[in-house]
Structures are given as C-alpha cells and as structure tokens.
Amino acid sequence: MKSFLASLFSSQPPPQSREGLPFWIFWLLLCVILLLVTFIFLRDKDLRRRLNAFFFRTKIKFVKMRLQAKLRKEKREKEELLRTMGQKAWKENIFPEKGEKMREELNKLEREKENIKEALEEINSKIGTFTFNLEESKLEYEEKLKKLEEEKVPHKENLNEVKEKEKVLDLKMDQIQKAKKEAEKKINAAEKQIKNIDKNQSLPEEEKSLKKEDIEKDIKDAKQMKEQSNDDLHGLKDDEKEVQREREKIEEHINVLEKTRKKIEEEEKKQKHQFQKEIKEWESNRERLREKLRHVTVKKDPLFENLGRNLDKLRLEHDGLLIFYSQIDRANQRILELEEQINSL
C-alpha cells in the first residue's frame, strides 16, 4: 500500500515500473476531496448548526473578555478619582465628622515625608560639596604635575646635551684608538724589518746601517704618535669622567623629580578614593531615604482613597468637590452599564 501511494504521488517512477503517474493527479484528487467535504457541509444542517454555535460561543467569549477589561479600567479610573478627591480634601482640610483619626494619620505621614525631603536636600548638598572638592582636588594635583613636568624640561635638555657630548667623546676616543693601533702596527712591522736586515748576510754593513737608520726614524715617529695618542686618550678619559659626573648629577635631579611625581600621584589616588568613598556612602543613604519616601507615599494613597470613599458616601457640600462628585457619578454609570452587558451575555 505504501509503495502504491508513493508511486501515485511521486513524479519519479517506482523501481519496478517504467513510468509513474503525473504529479498533477495529486492536485486533482485534492480538489475532489475538498469538493466532497464542501458538499457534505452544505447537506448536513446539524453540522452547520454545531459550527455556528462554536463560533458564536467563541465570539461571546471574546466580547466578554473585552468588556471585563474595560470594566477593570473604569474601576481603576474611579479609584484614581477617589484618591485625587481625598488628596484635595486633605489639602483643603475637608474631613467628615468621624475623620479625625484619618486626618492625624495623614498629617503624621506628611510630616515624615517633609523630614525625609529635608534629609534628602542635606544629603544632596553634601554629595555636591564632596563632588566639587573632588574636582578641585583633581585640578590641584593636575597643576602640581604640570609644574613638575615643566621643571623637568631643562634637566632633560641638559641631559640630552651631555649625551651628545658623550657621543662626541666616544667618537674621538675610537679615532685615537685606531691611530694608536696603527702606530703599534708600524712599530712591529719596522722592528721585523730591522731583524730581517740583521739576518741578511749578503748586505754590506754600511747599507745595513743606512736602512736601519731610516727604519729607526720611522719607529721613533710611530712611538711619538703612540705616546701622543696615549696622552690624548688620558685627557679624553678625564673629560669623559667629568661628563659622567655631570650626567649623574642631572639624572639625580630627574630621579628626585620623578619620585616627587610618584608621591603626588599616590596622594591624588588616595584623596580621590577618600572622596569617592564618602560620595558612595552618601549616595547609599540617599537611596535608602528615597525608598523610605516612596514607602510613605504608598501608605498615603489608600488613606486618600478611603477619605474619598467616605466623602462620596456623605456628599459634603463643598465647591471644590462638586466636580469630583459628577465625575464619580459618570464612572459609576459606566461601570453599571458594563456589568449589565457582561451579565446579559
């Protein structure tokens, strides 16, 4: 059966057949099935009635949900009207005869609210002061560091000049060392020539003496050059020591300034941490007071609502409350109409 259905609705022929049925037959059969279902629906009145009843109940359910949501909204608006009327009555000191206890409780909460507000203002002032001091401290330390850097500038310039002197001295000493080594090479080469002349038995003594005199003159010149190089090196080494002492003195000044900079930065960090700690503590206190203020406000709302309900029942004559009475009456009428509509469904 499965293989038959697969071959019927597949555009590919089954393995055992040469050719499958066309794919459009599937759509044709589907249309036939839909037509049969439609025909059965039109003939069966009971089925149509059950479907109509199902859709009608669903519609009624949605209408009821919408009316209930509207009813809840109207009741919330009425409660808000009662709270607003109670708050206005409290501000204008309009209370029923047996409302003294409510008046005292509201006044007590109001005094507590004002005390919290005063405390909040004081905390905000302290936070502002600490924040200002933090900024002032930051600017003060920045100015100190700026002056310190300006003080370091001439020392750094002198240090660069000393380093340049050291480079020049090193270059001169390298050149003199090369000249000294060159003189030593000449002396060694000349001494070898003299030895070779002495060993040569074929040369007459007079010729040997003449050649040796010329070579000894070259040796003398080379030795003088070597001695001069040694003297120059000695003088340059003295200069080098002097430059090193100058460099060490400048670096010592820079190190002192660098230590001062680190000390200032540590002081700034410590001072900043102290201010931030104070600010954080006061902000924590402020948040606690704000939460307390919200709690007091929440406690006043039901009292205002109760006062409004009592005034709505008694309907005390007062010009400031007449507009609330009319609004509450309209809200009651809308609530009654919605309840009747819900009950009639």
Instruction: Report the pLDDT value the prediction gives residue 120, as an integer from 0 to 100.
Output: 93
Place of tokens 């430059």: 243
Band (pLDDT 50/70/90 cuts) for residue 29 is confident
With a pLDDT cut of 70, the percent of the chain lying above it is 90
Band (pLDDT 50/70/90 cuts) for residue 11 is very low
With a pLDDT cut of 90, the percent of the chain lying above it is 28
Identify whether the C-beta of residue 289 lies closer than 8 Å to the C-beta of residue 116.
yes
Instruction: Report the pLDDT value the prediction gives residue 343, as an integer from 0 to 100.
Output: 85
DSSP state of 311: H
Residue 100 CA to residue 30 CA, distance in Å, equals 81
Q: What is the pLDDT of residues 43-61, one digit of tens each?
A: 767 766 776 777 777 888 8
Contacts of 81 (CB under 8 A, 6+ apart): 308, 324, 327, 328, 331
Contacts of 342 (CB under 8 A, 6+ apart): 64, 67, 68, 71
Average pLDDT, the chain: 83
Residue 94 CA to residue 276 CA, distance in Å, equals 49
Backbone angles phi, psi at 283, to 5 degrees: -65, -35
Band (pLDDT 50/70/90 cuts) for residue 4 is very low
Q: What is the CA radius of gyration of the chain?
A: 55
CA angle 93, 98, 99 (to 5 degrees): 35
Q: What is the amino acid identity at position 258?
A: E
Residue 228 CA to residue 30 CA, distance in Å, equals 119
Residue 93: which region, alpha, beta or left (left: phi > 0; alpha: psi -120 to 50)? left
Is residue 27 predicted with pLDDT exceeding 60?
A: yes
Q: Where are the domains of the chain?
A: 1-43, 131-306
Instruction: Report the pLDDT value the prediction gives residue 318, as an integer from 0 to 100.
Output: 79
- Using CA atoms, how far residue 61 sits from 54, 85, 228, 278, in Å, is 11, 36, 120, 60
Q: What is the pLDDT of residues 126-178, one digit of tens each?
A: 999 999 999 999 999 999 999 999 999 998 999 899 989 889 888 988 988 88
Least confident among 154-163, 196-205, 237-246, 326-335: 196-205
Is residue 1 predicted with pLDDT exceeding 60?
A: no
Query: Looking at domain 131-306, does it have CATH number 3.40.50?
Result: no
Residue 337 CA to residue 233 CA, distance in Å, equals 118
Residue 160: which region, alpha, beta or left (left: phi > 0; alpha: psi -120 to 50)? alpha
